[in-house]
């Protein structure tokens, strides 16, 4: 089977606002086959003018029949020639016309009719068959040429003698006209009641044309729902600017639908690209694999670079945090030392005893201010001021409670100390109440709770 997924092919269609399937299309590219064939492409587009074509779409039926008739005949040839191709195309389009016209339909239903345009190409020429209102264009060196056959020669039924062959001098780019056919002696007398569409009348007006093609050319087939709405200038601009022919087909069909959704529209396009045999396929695949490997290497290198940058940033942050902490501590250290010296100086200048009811300052300390060791060995007595005064095991408001002192209780002062709260404490010995019993205890009481 031919490859239908190549990048040089494109097709798109819309059903219109009626949403009734009235058209059909196909596109094949044979240039990438392992076994070369005499043809390189085969395109077809069909459209029915009926608003309600019935259960079976005549356009699809006609294209399926055309594909079955023409493809086997041309792929069996070693080389195509103009005379054989014109006879083959005219004969098979006439056969399809007869089959459609003779189709039995229920009473009151219209005969199946279809507009059909097909192009089959070899390495040098494109051979065109046409009946109806669709069109075929060729984009060559940036210019768009309308190659739709304009002759109205009637096609005979298959059992009749085929028409005379066309002139051996095929046109290069421009379609065969009636004037050219008359000059070369290929014109035939008109037959009465020719049908514009296949299946409309027993005889149909079938046109034929052929054109030389070169690599880079684009063959375009469009139904009347597109070429009546989108100008040729817009087609050229889109075909030249779009990424590929598939993108062009999709964009032009959407443009036609946006302007007039009452009719269906279809576009099929094929670009002639050289190097489609097995060797070209292998080179393309090899190039793709090489590009894939290169992309993988690039992504790995980018990932490694990102990881290194993250590690460097983490290291810089850690070093900066450490130095910042040390610098902050260096600036705060003089303030801490100053506060400590002020506290020591305050204790040194405070009197050893205070009047009753005042809080004495602790004796000068020669070591750290938060020491809990007694400094003054001389024992003196003091009276507890207040009830429920707690004696603690350390000079700390949260220290363990030895017991409670009663108001007016006499205690022996064993020494003074600076508590963890920065206040003066006294180490005392006296009778305390613990667990409901009076015992002799030794501990610390704040100076402001003692009257010396």
Report pLDDT digits (tens) over 350-364: 554 444 454 444 444
Q: Are residues 21 and 165 in the same domain?
A: yes
Q: Are residues 264 and 324 in the same domain?
A: no
CATH number for 86: 3.60.40.10
| DSSP β-bridge partners for residue 293 | none
Q: Are residues 311 and 218 in the same domain?
A: no
How far, in Å, CA of 230 to CA of 221, rounded? 13
Structural domains counted in the chain: 3
- Does the pLDDT of residue 235 top 70, yes or no? yes
Strands 410-418, 450-451: pairing is unpaired
Structure tokens at 60: 């699809």
How far, in Å, CA of 122 to CA of 111, rounded? 35
CATH number for 410: 2.30.30.40
Is residue 387 in some structural domain? yes
Is residue 371 in some structural domain? no
Q: Are residues 406 and 259 in the same domain?
A: no
Residue 114 exposure: Cα atoms within 13 Å on the Cβ side: 36
Query: At 410, which helix (H) or strand (E)?
Result: strand 410-418
How far, in Å, CA of 361 to CA of 349, rounded? 9
Mean pLDDT score of the chain, rounded to an integer?
79
Asked if residues 418 and 395 have their Cβ atoms less than 8 Å apart, the reply is yes
Tens of pLDDT, residues 18-30 = 777 888 899 998 8
Is residue 403 in some structural domain? yes
- Of 276, 301, 323, the position where a domain reaches its end is 276
- Does the pLDDT of residue 130 top 60, yes or no? yes
Q: Are residues 258 and 292 in the same domain?
A: no
- pLDDT at residue 160, rounded to an integer: 41
Q: Are residues 336 and 297 in the same domain?
A: yes
- pLDDT at residue 54, rounded to an integer: 64
Is residue 110 in some structural domain? yes
Number of residues that make up the chain? 452
Tens of pLDDT, residues 186-207 = 444 444 578 888 988 889 899 9
- pLDDT at residue 338, rounded to an integer: 79
Is residue 360 in some structural domain? no
How far, in Å, CA of 162 to CA of 188, rounded? 11
pLDDT band at 55 (very low <50, low <70, confident <90, very high): low
- pLDDT at residue 360, rounded to an integer: 46
Q: Are residues 269 and 143 in the same domain?
A: yes
The arithmetic mean of pLDDT across residues 122-141, rounded, is 93
- pLDDT at residue 286, rounded to an integer: 54
Is residue 358 in some structural domain? no
- Does the pLDDT of residue 452 top 50, yes or no? yes
Q: Edge-to-edge strand order for the sheet containing 125-131?
A: 23-29, 41-47, 115-121, 125-131, 207-212
Q: Show Cβ contacts of residue 408 under 8 Å, excluding neighbours closer than 6 positions.
A: 383, 384
User: Could you tell me which residue, 361 or 215, shows the higher pLDDT?
Assistant: 215
Domain, as residue range, for 245 = 9-276
- Of 232, 257, 276, the position where a domain reaches its end is 276
Q: Are residues 102 and 189 in the same domain?
A: yes
User: Could you tell me which residue, 158 or 346, shows the higher pLDDT?
Assistant: 346
Asked if residues 46 and 264 have their Cβ atoms less than 8 Å apart, the reply is no
| Distances, alpha carbon 372 to alpha carbons 207, 346, 356, 418, in Å | 118, 18, 25, 7
Q: Are residues 235 and 329 in the same domain?
A: no
The arithmetic mean of pLDDT across residues 243-271, rounded, is 91
Q: Are residues 56 and 161 in the same domain?
A: yes
- Does the pLDDT of residue 91 top 70, yes or no? yes
Coil vs helix vs strand at 61: helix
Is residue 151 in some structural domain? yes
- pLDDT at residue 288, rounded to an integer: 57
Q: Are residues 118 and 169 in the same domain?
A: yes
Q: Which of 344, 381, 390 is nearest to 365 (CA)?
A: 344
How does DSSP assign 133-194, residue by residue?
S-EEEEEETTEEEE------PBPPPTTSPPPPPPPSS--SSSPP-HHHHHHTT------SSE
How far, in Å, CA of 396 to CA of 444, rounded? 8
Q: Are residues 272 and 293 in the same domain?
A: no
How far, in Å, CA of 162 to CA of 154, rounded? 11
- Of 216, 251, 276, the position where a domain reaches its end is 276
């Amino acid at each position: 089977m031919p490859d239908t997924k190549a990048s040089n092919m494109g097709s798109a269609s819309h059903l219109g606002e009626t949403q009734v399937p009235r058209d059909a299309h196909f596109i094949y590219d044979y240039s990438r086959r392992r076994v070369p064939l005499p043809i390189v492409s085969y395109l077809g587009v069909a459209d029915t003018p009926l608003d309600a074509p019935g259960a079976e779409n005549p356009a699809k039926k006609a294209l399926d029949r055309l594909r079955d008739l023409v493809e086997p005949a041309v792929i069996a040839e070693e080389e195509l020639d103009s005379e054989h191709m014109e006879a083959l195309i005219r004969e098979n389009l006439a056969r399809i016309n007869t089959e459609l016209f003779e189709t039995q339909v229920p009473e009151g239903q219209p005969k199946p009719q279809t507009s059909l345009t097909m192009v089959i190409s070899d390495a040098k020429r494109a051979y065109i068959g046409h009946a109806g209102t669709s069109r075929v264009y060729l984009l060559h060196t940036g210019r768009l040429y309308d190659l739709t056959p304009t002759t109205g020669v009637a096609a005979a039924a298959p059992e009749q003698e085929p028409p005379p062959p066309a002139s051996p001098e095929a046109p290069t780019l421009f379609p065969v006209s009636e004037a050219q056919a008359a000059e070369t002696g290929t014109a035939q007398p008109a037959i009465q009641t020719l049908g514009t569409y296949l299946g409309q009348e027993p005889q149909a007006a079938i046109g034929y044309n052929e054109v030389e093609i070169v690599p880079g050319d684009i063959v375009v087939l469009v139904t009347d729902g597109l070429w009546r709405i989108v100008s040729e200038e817009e087609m050229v601009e889109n075909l030249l600017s779009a990424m590929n022919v598939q993108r062009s087909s999709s964009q032009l069909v959407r443009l036609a639908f946006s302007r007039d959704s009452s009719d269906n529209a279809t576009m099929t396009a094929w670009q002639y690209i050289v190097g489609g045999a097995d060797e070209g396929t292998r080179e393309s695949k090899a190039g793709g694999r090489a590009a894939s490997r290169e992309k993988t290497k690039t992504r790995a290198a980018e990932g490694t670079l990102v990881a290194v940058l993250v590690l460097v940033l983490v290291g810089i942050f850690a070093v900066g945090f450490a130095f910042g902490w040390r610098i902050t501590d260096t600036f705060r250290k003089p303030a801490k030392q100053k506060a400590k010296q002020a506290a020591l100086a305050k204790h040194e200048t405070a009197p050893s005893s205070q009047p009753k009811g005042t809080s004495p300052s602790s004796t000068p300390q020669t070591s750290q201010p938060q020491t809990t060791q007694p400094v003054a060995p001389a024992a003196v007595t003091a009276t507890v001021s207040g009830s429920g005064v707690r004696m603690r095991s350390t000079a700390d408001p949260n220290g363990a409670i030895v017991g409670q002192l009663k108001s007016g209780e006499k205690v022996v002062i064993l020494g003074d100390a600076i508590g963890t709260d920065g206040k003066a404490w006294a180490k005392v010995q006296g009778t305390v109440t613990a667990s409901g019993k009076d015992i002799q205890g030794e501990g610390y009481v704040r100076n402001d709770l003692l009257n010396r």
